[in-house]
Every structure is written in C-alpha cells, then in structure tokens.
Amino acid sequence: MSAPAAPAVQAAGALVWRVRAGRLQVALVHRPRYRDWSWPKGKLDPGEAVTAAAVREVEEETGLAVVLGVPLPGLEYELSDGRHKVVHYWAAQVAGREDGTVLAARPRVTPAGADEIDRWEWCDVAAAARRLTRKADRRPLDALVEAYAKDRLDTRALVVARHGQARKRAQWDGTEGDRPLTSLGGEQADAMVPVLAAFGVARVVTSGWERCAATVAPFARAAGLTPEIAHELTEARHDESPARVAALVDGCLDARVDTVLCTHRPVLPTVLDVLATHARRPAANRLPAQNPYLQPGEVLVAHAAVTRRGTRVVAVETHRSTVED
C-alpha cells in the first residue's frame, strides 16, 4: 500500500501594478539565491489565510503595503524534494491614504533580508515579460495585461460574509436577534480580520442581529471603523422585503468603496442574485448556487469594476475560514 501523498506546499503573492505616463507597470523582485527575477511571493505561515500571506509577502519583499484586487492565474509545479507547490496570485495596488485605518488591522511586517531579496524594481509590462526568469511567471502577467485592456483591473471589493457559527436555536432561550456566536464562531470572527484587511475593506455593513454584529466587530475594532447597522439584512426584515436587501447590495457595488456586508444564510440568495445581474458570465458561474451558499465564517469576494457597460462584477472568489470544526 503506497504512502499518502504529502500535502501541497501553499504559497501566495501578488502582481503589484501602477500606471505611469499611460504605461502599465509591475513590481519585480530579484532573489540572489536563485539569481532570478520573479513576483513577490512566499509560503504561508501555519494557520495563515492565503490572502493575508499574499499581502505580507509583498510588504516583506518590497516594503509596499498593498490591497488585493482580482485573482490571477496561479502556478503549480514540482519541488526538488518531490513535493507539489501551489502559488496563488492576485493583482494588487499600493495602499493609499484612504486605506490607512485598514492597514492598522494588519500585523507588523519584518522586511526580508538582503540574502533573500536584494532589490526590486518597477518595470513596464513588456520589459517585465522579458526579464522574468521563469516562463511560467508570464501567465499571471498576461491575465493582468488583458484585464487592464478591458477595464477590469481597477476594482473595488464587495465582501459578502456569513456570520460565524452561532448557538443553535434549540439551545437558546433568548430572542433570535440576541442569539450569540459560539466560541468557535468567535474564533472565526477573529480569523476574518486579516482576510478583510487584505482586501482593503474600509466600510462595514452588517445585520443588527448579534451573531452578525459580533462577526465583524473584531475587524471594525482593529481597523478603527464604525459598523453601519442595516436592519434589512436581518432574516425577519428580509422576509418582509427582499427588494430592500437588493437595493442595499446595488448601492454597495456603486459606492466604489471596499466593503464587507455581513448577513445570514437565508438572506444570501437575494444578495447573490443581485451580484449575478451585475456579473460577467465567468464571474456569475463562480457564484455559489446551492444551500448553504457559504459556510459559517466564510466570505465571498465580488470584484467590481467600472467598465464601458457600467459597474460589473468581473471576478468572484470565496475563502473558507481558517478555523473550522
């Protein structure tokens, strides 16, 4: 009987981009150990969310605090010791002044040593394609250039969060609005902080019921944000008027502010329907279609861009909580 395969080594990074004099540029790093030019990236720390690893690695290797945008094609390859490695990539932009409070929610980063990264540079994308040492590294670059050409690169995130695990209804004598998170749910709320910080969330909108408010409270405190209570996101108000939920989601998409919206499982179909009406077909196909749509503490990130056809959801990704049963 053969031994089970070792789990894949997970790594994350980003293609940090900017536009200068009408030219799209990206940041490349040089690794003296391998004498190569590549994207800032690195392995996940134990228990670290992949999105948090991506922004941490970029800051360690370039000194740039960034906000993640659309996901880009990743890479998979075999290591010299026979293990499989998976690298996840996102487009990213340098955080601006409006992201200052969000950066406060991130842990302090220790810069990489000169033996790991001895320099980094901004390069026009054509020059970057030539300078990259590994041909495979051009794949995420090609996707980034295509997204830029189609007005799908400069995005804002609408993060839809399902609250963390809550006490079961049968085990709670209080009101439905007061039903709290379990201890696991509290851990899931804490684990959501670095995920929301990675996407630069600067606005917190939540159902007023306790389990939702408590789920986003750790991030709001860490980022110095005041949550906006939207009672239409409660199960009871949604049953009365799904249209009000739809209008709220529409408003969040049009606001051009990275936003988290925390709600309940029965409300999710309405939220997802609105996202689908704004989404390109590839993005719409990535929206969850079956109950429970999202697991407790899971988030869905809808990346919205202002295109020639108006505000469009151009990419969708989901992230399970790093804390589960």
Q: What is the pLDDT of residues 112-151, one digit of tens each?
A: 999 999 999 999 999 999 999 999 999 999 999 999 999 9
The DSSP line for 17-73 is EEEETTEEEEEEEEETTTTEEE-SEEEPPTT--HHHHHHHHHHHHH---EEEEEEEE
Order across the sheet with 228-229: list the strands.
Answer: 228-229, 203-206, 259-263, 155-162, 299-307, 310-319
Per cent of the chain over pLDDT 90 is 91
234-268 in b/e form (b: 16+ CB < 10 A) is beebbeeebebbbebbeebbeeeebbbbbbbeebb
pLDDT at position 2: 53
Q: What is the pLDDT of residues 25-47, one digit of tens each?
A: 999 999 999 899 999 999 999 99
pLDDT at position 284: 97
- Of the candidates 314, 212, 304, 324, which has an alpha carbon nearest to the alpha carbon of residue 258? 304
For the segment 175-201, the average pLDDT, to the nearest whole number, is 97
Alpha helices, DSSP H only, in the chain? 50-62, 100-103, 125-131, 138-149, 183-198, 210-223, 235-240, 242-254, 268-278, 281-284
pLDDT at position 97: 74
Q: What is the pLDDT of residues 17-29, one digit of tens each?
A: 999 999 999 999 9
Higher pLDDT, 82 or 148: 148
Task: Sort strands 9-20 and 23-31 into parallel, antiparallel or unpaired.
Answer: antiparallel
Q: Which residues pair with 124 in a beta bridge?
A: 25
Radius of gyration of the chain (CA): 20
Which helix (H) or strand (E) element contains residue 203? strand 203-206
For the segment 175-199, the average pLDDT, to the nearest whole number, is 97
Which helix (H) or strand (E) element contains residue 13? strand 9-20
Q: What is the pLDDT of residues 268-306, one digit of tens each?
A: 999 999 999 999 999 999 999 999 999 999 999 999 999
